[in-house]
Amino acid sequence: MEDYKALSKLRHRKQLFMSAIFILLLGAGRFFPVIGYLVPVCMVLGIYLGISRGRIWCNYFCPRGSFLDTAGKAVSLGRKIPSFLKRTPFRIAVLLFMFSMMALQVASRWPDFRSIGFFFINMLSAVTLVGIILALFIHQRTWCTFCPVASFSSWFGRGRNPMKIDSSLCVECRLCSRVCPLQLEPYRFKSEGLRDMKEKDCLKCGLCIAACPKKALSQTRNPEV
């Protein structure tokens, strides 16, 4: 458990740092719209990392994810995230809505770069508001279950940097699930033995590995924290 506490503390510090940057940029974006262009830059970076290394962007690199995991967690009811929000049709619908809205807005404002910058800042504010409302009434990472960057990472980065579970060690205490920021359930892969886990939404945070009292979980590469 000491491993878990140390890892959790380190991750929390990194998330606090990213949250501070997030609040700073969101505020400054109201006066300097060029900051808004960081939104598409972050999206491309998140998708690139997701495809090449699995969903590591969402662990603490994502400023909004970090903000929701810290400030959002403090006010969240911490309920179970409804399963339909994780399903592919819903995620595709959100992705299509977001990307077509972005394309239409950029096209209608083109070539006014200042106005486009403001649009990105407004979009970031609106999505953050949705994330906070979902955090309040459901769980701090509810938005992260269907965020377009997360969906791309899940679909195309699955199998990257996978975890394994030693079925001979796991006693199904479910502690791994209780510490998972996304309410994933690593113990459910017990029947697969030491084969790579197929959990495409795993953030590679390593919290479950550190928390497992039986050391049943492992990762082929070091946790990305």
- Burial, 16: exposed, middle or buried (Cβ in 10 Å; 0-12, 13-18, 19+)? middle
Q: How far is the CB of 186 from ligand SF4 (least distance, A)?
A: 5
Query: What whole-number distance in Å separates Cα of residue 9 and Cα of residue 204?
Result: 16
Between 11 and 91, CB nearer to ligand SF4 = 11
Q: How far is the CB of 63 from ligand SF4 (least distance, A)?
A: 18
Q: How far is the CB of 99 from ligand SF4 (least distance, A)?
A: 26
Between 40 and 213, CB nearer to ligand SF4 = 213
What's the one-letter identity of residue 14? K
β partners of residue 217:
165
Between 19 and 153, CB nearer to ligand SF4 = 153
Q: How far is the CB of 187 from ligand SF4 (least distance, A)?
A: 3
* Token representation of residue 84: 């339909």
Between 68 and 203, CB nearer to ligand SF4 = 203
Q: How far is the CB of 89 from ligand SF4 (least distance, A)?
A: 23
Between 29 and 206, CB nearer to ligand SF4 = 206
**Residues of this chain that bind ligand SF4 (CB under 6 A):** 165, 170-176, 179-182, 184, 186-187, 199, 202-208, 212, 214, 216-217
Q: What is the DSSP letter of 59?
A: I
- Burial, 80: exposed, middle or buried (Cβ in 10 Å; 0-12, 13-18, 19+)? exposed
User: Is residue 161 a contact partner of residue 56, using CB atoms and an 8 Å limit?
Assistant: yes
Instruction: Give the distance, in angstroms, between the CA of residue 191 and the centroid of all CA atoms in the same chain.
Output: 27
β partners of residue 83:
none
